[in-house]
Amino acid sequence: MSITLKALLPPALLDNPKLVAVELPRALMTRANFIPGVRHRLGWRGVRDCAKGGGGLTVRVTGMPGVYGVEILAADGQKDAGRATFGISYFPMPDEDLIESFSIDAGLAAQAGDYLERVREFTLHPDLRVLFHIAGLETFFTAAPQGVGMALSAPEHDVVIARDGLEIQTPNGPVQAVPPGGTDQDFPAWDTALPLFNALAASASFCLGDSPDSLTSHSMASTRRTYGANARITSQACPHSRTWRLGLGWNTPVPADPHFTDTKDLWQRPAPIPEDWADALWLNPNIQGAGNSIDKRTMGISDKPRLIVLTGFLGSGKTTFLARFIEEQAAKNGFVAVIQNEIGQKGLDGKLMGQHYAVTEVDEGCVCCTLAGSLRAALSGILSEFQPDFVVLETTGLANPANLLSEIADLDDLLEFASVTTVVDAAGAARALDNHEVARSQVRLADVLLVNKADLVSESALNELETRLRTLNTAGTMHRVVQGDIQAAALYGVNFRNTPSRPAPTLPLMGAQPTHMDDNIQSSLISLDAPVDRAAFSQGVAALPDKVLRAKGIVRFLDTDIPEVFQFVPGHTSLTPMDQEPGGSFMVIIGQDSPQVAEDFRSALGIGASAS
């Protein structure tokens, strides 16, 4: 048996076995969800990246109403092998029968009004992870020869006893929810975790192009937890439950775990697979339906992805809207491919938004100035490798969409045009519209206008802004939103069949349209090779002149080992701890006379090399 991960993970990552083990579940889930005909057959209903907190994934699987949470717990590796362990949680729907098997505290948490919102970012909420943890996942990677293994560990029943009983407060007074010595939780952990593991294993077989060649089983006696009024938790043997560990290996066996007393080699190729596993989906790497898209093209059936051109001035919230759009489509088993570029020499947003979609950061500069010829190349690369349902061209905040329309008109053999969607910052729009023709062009050419951050300004200010937008664009639909949150159907119609109020481009535009260069707007990069002083950094930000339109980057400070994401638009600054290791620390300044502004900022930080 011989496998390769070159098509699944970046070549540079394969040189670090530890990182391969860490990224393997994400890569498998993402790649399997690229192809609509495949993801349904593998059992996926949606995958979403949780970029906040410690990082993780929320996953939905066919046959399970709730949401799985997968988070990295630990990883280690040597030169030729890596191992990672993950925690698996299961967050049931509030009306799901399984909620009754969880603890009383878990049931109360699931009935809270913000429960599902908290599940979306479960990595930020350790209380949820404690209440709804059900299983462990291990991944293994060997470098020479390349091999992959994964193992699921969970008890048949996760049992929790309330030694002193449990009372809950109700409008009618306290109620004894669990009697002393009673069972607070008896959750079927193994049966609940197994569907996720099966889908992940089937995805591994599909992505690696081969089925596993070894199957092992490990077990030990389970324990049950007991808590009392003093909150002290003890563990005792649970006589009617065992904890199982199931391992699958592709060109490498899953190593034994000394905690498990009973180990069995259930199967190894070329022996016949045991009858109990004969119908396992992971046995067949050739998923029926994987070639559906090719068959449609061969038969002359049009199934082209729909194109959304997403634009908006700097800091308007395009990336936030896009992240929500992607999440909504993923929940419906849709796949969104993103072509994203940002003025400046560092693509920050591609690092922040995770890996639920393909991102091609086209060239190094502004899309409206340097994209000619590259958009088709980027699209051809995505469409040749994946089968997206939607393509979103997320332009730089300084791009004039007018300069794209003629090229888009020449892409009708690849795409079906859907919309020019422009995001407007309700708080900063007046300044941008007053000072920049590009901002006005972005509004004029939109068939969908999103007035974002509507919660940050007064009703009268919103009405005044919308009146001004209407003078620039009388035909486009307009929506007020907060944090880019709106259903796609409200914008584009069910199944994206709304007729655009501004017709799709069919003829090249005559003459070049205004670009950011006409406003003398430039970008400058500051490489931050060493940690910087936080106070000096804050002072430098406070001193940025009004001609700076946008600044962002990844910064390391002297007072912490955790890198932080820096975002700046006039009137607002944020620093957010980063949950993944960045490729480097840097800052991009965008605005008029940015080289001099960057030099002044470097001086404030006490670093002398010139900015680029």
| pLDDT at residue number 523 | 66
Give the DSSP letter of residue 517. G
| pLDDT at residue number 548 | 78
Could you name the CATH architecture of 305-493? 3-Layer(aba) Sandwich (3.40)
In this predicted model, which residue has the larger pLDDT, 561 or 38? 561
| pLDDT at residue number 352 | 42
Sequence ranges of the chain with CATH classification 3.30.1220.10:
521-605
Whether the pLDDT of residue 593 is over 50: the answer is yes
> Position 405: which residue type?
L
Q: Which helix (H) or strand (E) holds 347?
A: none
521-605 maps to which CATH number?
A: 3.30.1220.10
Whether the pLDDT of residue 406 is over 80: the answer is no
Percent of the chain topping pLDDT 70? 78
Query: What span, in angstroms and rounded, lies between the C-alpha atoms of 566 and 572?
Result: 11
Q: Does pTM top 0.75 for this prediction?
A: no
What is the three-class DSSP state of 295? helix
The chain-wide mean pLDDT, for the chain, equals 81
| pLDDT at residue number 348 | 42
pLDDT tens-digit profile of 93-115? 999 999 999 999 999 999 999 99
Q: What is the mean pLDDT of residues 524-535?
A: 88
| pLDDT at residue number 527 | 86
What are 268's strand-pairing partners? 214
pLDDT tens-digit profile of 198-249? 999 999 999 998 999 999 999 999 999 999 987 688 999 988 889 999 999 9
Sequence ranges of the chain with CATH classification 3.40.50.300:
305-493
pLDDT tens-digit profile of 266-297? 999 999 999 999 999 999 888 654 443 333 34
Question: Which residue is it, tokens 């008109």?
Answer: 409
- Answer for the pair 195, 163: CB distance below 8 angstroms, yes or no: no
- Answer for the pair 26, 355: CB distance below 8 angstroms, yes or no: yes
Give the least confident one: 208-212, 249-253, 256-260, 509-513: 509-513
| pLDDT at residue number 322 | 86
